[in-house]
Amino acid sequence: MEPLILRLGLALAIGLLVGLERGWREREAPAGSRTAGIRTYGISGLLGGIVAALSDAQRSDLIFAAGFMSFALSFTWFKLHEARHDEDFASPA
């Protein structure tokens, strides 16, 4: 099998496992309070694998850095939006 497909499959599998664990840990949370689960982490893992593969194929760390910064900024925006919605600006315990 193609090494790229295996690497992307591994990235997806890791993301799905992390999402499954998070969903299991928060299974008793009220409906609508769980913000990220198996789909979110699966997509995040796959996108990380794609960015890493593109970076490797182009021999450019700039692609990897841009992908990481895009993900970090999106995540920060999401958490800020979530905190505003919940009116909870405390640091995590």
Lowest mean pLDDT of 3-12, 14-23, 28-37, 71-80, name the range.
28-37
Q: How much is the average pLDDT of 18-26? A: 87
Closest to 71 measured CA to CA, from 82, 61, 63: 63
Residue labelled with tokens 């982490």: 41
pLDDT in tens, 58-80: 998 999 999 999 999 998 998 88
Cβ contact 49:10 at 8 Å? yes
Report whether 23 contacts 38 (CB < 8 A).
yes
Name the pLDDT band for 91 (thresholds 50, 70, 90). Answer: low
**What percentage of the chain has pLDDT greater than the value 90?**
52
